[in-house]
Amino acid sequence: MLDSLGRDIDYIRISITDRCNLRCRYCMPEEGVQPLSHCDVLRYEELLRLTRAAVRIGVRNVKVTGGEPLARKGCIDFLRELKSLPGIEHVTITTNGVLLESALADLVQMKIDGVNISLDSLSGETYRHITRQDAFPAVWRAIVKAVEAGLRVKVNCVPIAGLNDMEIVDFALLTEDMPIDVRFIEFMPSGVGESLEGISGEEILGRLTEAYPDLIQDTRRRGFGPARYFKSSKMRGSIGIIDALGSCFCPGCNRVRLTSDGFLKLCLFHDKGLDLREMLRSGADDNEIEAAITEAIFRKPERYTLGGITGPDMSIKNMSQIGG
Ligand code: SAM
Ligand code: SF4
- Which residue, by CA, sits nearest to atom 2 of ligand 1? 95
Residue 82: pLDDT band (50, 70, 90) is: very high
Distance between CA atoms of 280 and 286, rounded to whole angstroms? Answer: 9
Ligand 1 neighbour 156 (Cβ under 6 A): yes
- Helix boundaries (H) for 93-167: 104-109, 124-131, 136-148
Residue 319 has a pLDDT of: 80
Ligand 2 neighbour 320 (Cβ under 6 A): yes
- Which residue, by CA, sits nearest to atom 18 of ligand 1? 324
Q: Is it the case that residue 129 has pLDDT exceeding 70?
A: yes
Percent of the chain with pLDDT over 70: 94
CB 324 within 8 A of CB 30: no
Q: Is it the case that residue 248 has pLDDT exceeding 80?
A: no
Express each pLDDT in 14-33 by its tens digit.
999 999 999 999 999 999 88
β-strands 90-95, 114-118: how paired? parallel
Express each pLDDT in 312-322 by its tens digit.
444 455 788 78
Q: Tell me what the pLDDT averaged over the chain comes to.
A: 92
Ligand 2 neighbour 67 (Cβ under 6 A): yes
Residue 270: pLDDT band (50, 70, 90) is: confident
Residue 247 has a pLDDT of: 66
- Which residue, by CA, sits nearest to atom 26 of ligand 1? 187
Residue 273 has a pLDDT of: 93
Cα(287) to centroid(ligand 1), Å = 34
Residue 306: pLDDT band (50, 70, 90) is: low
CB 68 within 8 A of CB 99: yes
CB 22 within 8 A of CB 68: yes
Ligand 1 neighbour 95 (Cβ under 6 A): yes
Q: Is it the case that residue 287 has pLDDT exceeding 50?
A: yes
Residue 249: pLDDT band (50, 70, 90) is: confident
Percent of the chain with pLDDT over 90: 81
Alpha-carbon dihedral of residues 1, 318, 18, 300, nearest 10 degrees? -10
Cα(212) to centroid(ligand 1), Å = 27
Express each pLDDT in 212-245 by its tens digit.
999 999 987 766 677 899 999 999 999 999 987 6
Q: Which atom of ligand 2 is nearest to the CA of 320?
A: 8
Residue 313 has a pLDDT of: 45
- Which residue, by CA, sits nearest to atom 19 of ligand 1? 27
Distance between CA atoms of 175 and 234, rounded to whole angstroms? Answer: 8
Residue 278: pLDDT band (50, 70, 90) is: very high
Nearest ligand, CA 23: 2
Residue 305 has a pLDDT of: 67
Cα dist from 32 to 25, 137, 281, whole Å:
10, 23, 28
Residue 311 has a pLDDT of: 40
Q: Is it the case that residue 132 has pLDDT exceeding 90?
A: yes
Residue 310: pLDDT band (50, 70, 90) is: very low
**SS3 sequence, 75-91?**
HHHHHHHHHCCCCCCEE
Of 138, 55, 143, the C-alpha closest to 99 is 138
- Residue 231, phi then psi, degrees to nearest 5: -145, 145
Cα dist from 123 to 29, 118, 131, 132, whole Å:
22, 14, 12, 13
pTM: 0.95
Q: Quick one: average pLDDT of 52-63?
A: 98
Q: Quick one: average pLDDT of 143-147?
A: 98
Cα(27) to centroid(ligand 2), Å = 6
Residue 220 has a pLDDT of: 79
Ligand 1 mutation pick, 185, 199, 200, max ligand atoms within 8 A of CB? 185
Of 184, 109, 110, the C-alpha closest to 154 is 184
Cα(95) to centroid(ligand 2), Å = 8
Nearest ligand, CA 119: 1
Query: Which of 77-91, 145-159, 188-202 shows the lowest mean pLDDT across its residues?
Result: 188-202
**SS3 sequence, 21-44?**
CCCCCCCCCCCCCCCCCHHHCCCH
